[in-house]
C-alpha cells in the first residue's frame, strides 16, 4: 500500500470511528513520509482525543515546523492547555488569530482562557468577536460568563439566548441561576436549576440545587420541592446535610407532624432526618419526645407487636436518640416504664427466650444498648433490618470504638492544667457524634482548592502536588479529618486530639470507611513543637478558643507550617455568641452542673423563655440538640471568643495573608452587594462592619484560610 493509499484508508477509518486502525495507518504514512502535514495533524488530533497530549504536542509541533498554519497553532494550543501549559496555549491561540483574524474558535478559546486568567475585558472582546463570526449557544454562554464577572446585566440575556437556541444545554441554565441568585432572586434561580435537572442530572446541577435550596427563606408546602429534596438527601448529593434545615421545614409544612403519628411514621424525609444526623429543631424535638412516650405506651399495651412503618419509625427514633445522646426530656413515670421494659429485655435475653423487636427499639430510644449486660447476647440473634441497624449502631460500633481507642499512640504529654480539664470533658462526652460523611469535592493540590474556592484571593501558588503533609490539630471524632483525607487522596494526614475517647471513635470510623492515609495520635497542641514535624497544610477548627491562650496555641501551629503553606482556622465570634454568653451566665447562676440530668433540665428551662430572648435564642445553635454538643456549647470548661479586629491584628503581626471566609451563599451575596469594591472578600475591616449589622453571620464560627509567607 502506497503512502497515499494508506492515508486515504486512514481517513475512511477515522470518519467511521475506527480510531485505532486510523492511528495505525497514519503512523504508517508518517514512517514513509515524516513531513506529511495532514497525517501529522490528524494523528495529533487523535492523540489529543485519547488524552496523550505530550504526543499530540510533538505531532502538531512537527507540522508547525514545516508550515505555520492557524489550525496547527489552534490544535497545539488545545493540547498544551490540557497539559496545564496555559501561557503557551494562550500564545498559540493569539498567533492563530494573527494569521487568521476571523478564526471564530480561536477567538472563543482565547476569550475563555483570558477570562480564567482574570483578563475579563480582553476576554469579552474576543468572545464578542467569536459570537459575531459563529453564533451558537456555546458562544452566548461563554460571553455571558465573562460579562457576569464584570457585573454586566447583559450576561443574563446571553444565558437566556443560549437556552433558547439549545434547550437541552445544561450549563447556561446553571449560569443563569447563579446570575439570578446574585441579583437576589433565589426562587427563580432554583427553578432554572430544577429545569436543568429534568434535562440531565450532573454533579454541578445537583451541587447547585443543594446550595440554592438551602438558601431558600420562604418555604410552603411544595410537594415537588419536597420530592427533590428527599432524593437529594437520600442519594447523598453534595453536602446534603446543608439541606437539613430545609428538610425540617418541609416536613413541618407537609402536615406529617400536624396530622399525627401515623402520618409522620410514613414520611421518608423525616426518617432520613432521624437516621442521618441530629434533628435541630425544638418543635420537632417536642413531637419526637411525645412520639417516644406514645410508642412506649403502645408497646406496653400490645405485648410488643409492632411492624411495618411503625417499627421503621420506632427504630429510626431510637437511632436519633442515640445520635443526640438521649438529650430529650423524660418524665419520672415514663422513666419508670422505660426501665421496666429494659429489665424485661435483659431478663428474656439472659435466659434465651424471645425478645420482641419493638421492645429492643423502645429500650434503645431511652438507653444505649451497649450498656446492657446482655448486649453480646443481642448480637447473636437475627433481627428485622431496622432493628439490626439499631444493634449495629448501639452495640457493634461502640465495641469497635473501644478496640480502636486501645491502639491510639500518645504523641506528646498533656501537662497544661486547662488542657487536662478540656481532655476530661471530651473523654466523658466525645464531640461530636456523627453518622454520615458526605462527599466532598476532591482536589489534586492546595493550589487547585484555593483557585476554585477563592479565585480572587491574594494567594501565592505553592506548586505542590497532591502528596502533601496535613495536620488536623484537634480532630475530635474524625469527621473533619476523614473528609480532608478523602479530599486530598494522595496526602498524608496526622490527626491529633486530647481525648482518647474521641480518637477511638475517629479511628473506628476511618477503618469502617476504608480510609488509609490518616494517622491518629493523642497530643496537646501546646507540645507539638517538640515533635519536629512540619506540614504543608494545617487545619484547626473549633479548637484554639478552648486553650488557655488561643494566640499562643496558634503561634505553635504556625511554627509547624512550612513556608508558603496554608492554614484553616475556625474561632468563636464574640458578636455571634452574645446569647451563649447570657446562657452560660444563667447556667452558672442557677447552679446547673454538666451531667446529663442537669443538661436536660437547663435546656428545658431555657426553652420556656419567650421567642427572641437570649436564653431562647440558643436553640438556634445546632449544638443545642445533643448532650455532648450542648455541653460544648453552654457548659464548656474553657471558652474564649474573638473579634475580627483582633484576628486582623494577629494576622498582621505574624505576616499572614488572609485568603477568605467560608460563609453561606446568602452571606457572601449580601457582602458582595454591600462591598462591590472588594471582589476577593478579604477586607476584615469591612467584614467587621458587616458583622455589626448582621451579628449572627458567624454563628457557626469565623471559618477562614490564611497563607504563610513563602
Confidence class of residue 298 from pLDDT cuts 50, 70 and 90?
confident
Confidence class of residue 458 from pLDDT cuts 50, 70 and 90?
very high
Higher-pLDDT residue of 391, 301: 391
State mean pLDDT over 451-471: 89
For residue 253, pLDDT beyond 60: yes
The pLDDT of residue 265? 83
State mean pLDDT over 327-334: 93
- The neighbouring-strand residues paired with 496 are 473, 521
The pLDDT of residue 158? 96
| Burial of 223 (C-beta count, 10 Å sphere; 0-12/13-18/19+) | exposed
The pLDDT of residue 302? 62
What single-letter DSSP state applies at residue 242? G
Confidence class of residue 349 from pLDDT cuts 50, 70 and 90?
very high
Residues 6+ apart with CB under 8 A from 137: 161, 162, 163, 165, 166, 169, 172
Mean pLDDT of the chain: 92
Cα–Cα distance, 52 to 608 (Å, whole number): 67
> First CA to last CA across the chain, in angstroms?
61
The pLDDT of residue 303? 57
The pLDDT of residue 243? 85
Residues 6+ apart with CB under 8 A from 515: 482, 485, 486
The pLDDT of residue 357? 93
The pLDDT of residue 325? 93
The pLDDT tens digits of the residues spanning 415-430 come to: 999 999 999 999 998 8
The pLDDT tens digits of the residues spanning 476-516 come to: 999 999 999 999 999 999 999 999 999 999 999 999 999 99
Domain boundaries for CATH 3.40.50.150 within the chain: 414-577+641-710
**Range with the poorest average pLDDT among 43-57, 135-149, 357-371, 685-699:** 43-57
The pLDDT of residue 117? 81
Cα–Cα distance, 379 to 295 (Å, whole number): 24
Domain boundaries for CATH 1.25.40.10 within the chain: 3-209
Please tell me the CATH code under which domain 414-577+641-710 is placed: 3.40.50.150
Confidence class of residue 305 from pLDDT cuts 50, 70 and 90?
low
Cα–Cα distance, 521 to 440 (Å, whole number): 24
pTM here is 0.76
The pLDDT of residue 318? 97
Give the H or E element holding residue 21: helix 19-32
For residue 689, pLDDT beyond 90: yes
Q: How far is CA 615 from CA 593, 595, 597, 603, 633, in A?
A: 17, 19, 19, 9, 13
Torsion (CA) 70, 73, 74, 77 in degrees, nearest 10:
-170
Please tell me the CATH superfamily of domain 3-209, with its number.
Answer: Tetratricopeptide repeat domain (1.25.40.10)
Amino acid at each position: 500500500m502506497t503512502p497515499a493509499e494508506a492515508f486515504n484508508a486512514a481517513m475512511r477509518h477515522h470518519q467511521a470511528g475506527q480510531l485505532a486502525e486510523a492511528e495505525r495507518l497514519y503512523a504508517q504514512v508518517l514512517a514513509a513520509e515524516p513531513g506529511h502535514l495532514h497525517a501529522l495533524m490528524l494523528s495529533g488530533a487523535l492523540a489529543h482525543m485519547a488524552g496523550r497530549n505530550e504526543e499530540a504536542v510533538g505531532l502538531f509541533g512537527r507540522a508547525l515546523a514545516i508550515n505555520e498554519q492557524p489550525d496547527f497553532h489552534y490544535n497545539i494550543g488545545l493540547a498544551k492547555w490540557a497539559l496545564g501549559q496555559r501561557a503557551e496555549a494562550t500564545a498559540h491561540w493569539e498567533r492563530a488569530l494573527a494569521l487568521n483574524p476571523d478564526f471564530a474558535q480561536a477567538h472563543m478559546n482565547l476569550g475563555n482562557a483570558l477570562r480564567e486568567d482574570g483578563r475579563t475585558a480582553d476576554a469579552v472582546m474576543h468572545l464578542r468577536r467569536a459570537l459575531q463570526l459563529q453564533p451558537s449557544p456555546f458562544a452566548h454562554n461563554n460571553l455571558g460568563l465573562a460579562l457576569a464577572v464584570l457585573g454586566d446585566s447583559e450576561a443574563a440575556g446571553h444565558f437566556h439566548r443560549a437556552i433558547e437556541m439549545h434547550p437541552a444545554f445544561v450549563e447556561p441554565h446553571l449560569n443563569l441561576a447563579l446570575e439570578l441568585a446574585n441579583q437576589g432572586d433565589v426562587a427563580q434561580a432554583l427553578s432554572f436549576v430544577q429545569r436543568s435537572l429534568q434535562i440531565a442530572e450532573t454533579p454541578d446541577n445537583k451541587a447547585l440545587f443543594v446550595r440554592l435550596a438551602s438558601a431558600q427563606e420562604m418555604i410552603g408546602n411544595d410537594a415537588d420541592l419536597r420530592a427533590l429534596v428527599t432524593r437529594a438527601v437520600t442519594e447523598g448529593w453534595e453536602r446534603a446535610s446543608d439541606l437539613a434545615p430545609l428538610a425540617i421545614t418541609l416536613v413541618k409544612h407537609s402536615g406529617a407532624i400536624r396530622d399525627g403519628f401515623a402520618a409522620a411514621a410514613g414520611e421518608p424525609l423525616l426518617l432520613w432526618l432521624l437516621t442521618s444526623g441530629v434533628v435541630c429543631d425544638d418543635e420537632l424535638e417536642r413531637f419526637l419526645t411525645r412520639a417516644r412516650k406514645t410508642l412506649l405506651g403502645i408497646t406496653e399495651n400490645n405485648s410488643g407487636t409492632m411492624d411495618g412503618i411503625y417499627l421503621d419509625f420506632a427504630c429510626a427514633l431510637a437511632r436519633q436518640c442515640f445520635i443526640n445522646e438521649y438529650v430529650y426530656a423524660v418524665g419520672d413515670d415514663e422513666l419508670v416504664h422505660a426501665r421496666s421494659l429494659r429489665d424485661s429485655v435483659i431478663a428474656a435475653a439472659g435466659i434465651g427466650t424471645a425478645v420482641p423487636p419493638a421492645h429492643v427499639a423502645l429500650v434503645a430510644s431511652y438507653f444505649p444498648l451497649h450498656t446492657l449486660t446482655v448486649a453480646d447476647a443481642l448480637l447473636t440473634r437475627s433481627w428485622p433490618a431496622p432493628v439490626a441497624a439499631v444493634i449495629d449502631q448501639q452495640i457493634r460500633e461502640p465495641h469497635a470504638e473501644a478496640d480502636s481507642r486501645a491502639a491510639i499512640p500518645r504523641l506528646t504529654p498533656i501537662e497544661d492544667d486547662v488542657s487536662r480539664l478540656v481532655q476530661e470533658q471530651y473523654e466523658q462526652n466525645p464531640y461530636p457524634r456523627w453518622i454520615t460523611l458526605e462527599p466532598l469535592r476532591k482536589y489534586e493540590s492546595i493550589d487547585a482548592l484555593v483557585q476554585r474556592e477563592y479565585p480572587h484571593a491574594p494567594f501565592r501558588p505553592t506548586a505542590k502536588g497532591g502528596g502533601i503533609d496535613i495536620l488536623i490539630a484537634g480532630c475530635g471524632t474524625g469527621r473533619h479529618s476523614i473528609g480532608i483525607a478523602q479530599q486530598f487522596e494522595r496526602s498524608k494526614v496526622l490527626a491529633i486530639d486530647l481525648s482518647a475517647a474521641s480518637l477511638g471513635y475517629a479511628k473506628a470510623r476511618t477503618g469502617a470507611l476504608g480510609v488509609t492515609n490518616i494517622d491518629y495520635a493523642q497530643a496537646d497542641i501546646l507540645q507539638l513543637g517538640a515533635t519536629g514535624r512540619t506540614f504543608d497544610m494545617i487545619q484547626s477548627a473549633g479548637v484554639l478558643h478552648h486553650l488557655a491562650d488561643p494566640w499562643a496555641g496558634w503561634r505553635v501551629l504556625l511554627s509547624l507550617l512550612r513556608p508558603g503553606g496554608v492554614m484553616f482556622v475556625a474561632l468563636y465570634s464574640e458578636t455571634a455568641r452574645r446569647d451563649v454568653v447570657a446562657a452560660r451566665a444563667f447556667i452558672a447562676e442557677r447552679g446547673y452542673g454538666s451531667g446529663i440530668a442537669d443538661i436536660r433540665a437547663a435546656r428545658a428551662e431555657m426553652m420556656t423563655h419567650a421567642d427572641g430572648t437570649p436564653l431562647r435564642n440558643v436553640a438556634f445553635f445546632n449544638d443545642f440538640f445533643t448532650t455532648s454538643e450542648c455541653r460544648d456549647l453552654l457548659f464548656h470548661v474553657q471558652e474564649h471568643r474573638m473579634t475580627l479586629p483582633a484576628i486582623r491584628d494577629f494576622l498582621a503581626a505574624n505576616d499572614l495573608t488572609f485568603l477568605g471566609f467560608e460563609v453561606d451563599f446568602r452571606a457572601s451575596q449580601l457582602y458582595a452587594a454591600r462591598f462591590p469594591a472588594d471582589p476577593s472578600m478579604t477586607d476584615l475591616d469591612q467584614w467587621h462592619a458587616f458583622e455589626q449589622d448582621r451579628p449572627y453571620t458567624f454563628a457557626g464560627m469565623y471559618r477562614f484560610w490564611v497563607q504563610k509567607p513563602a
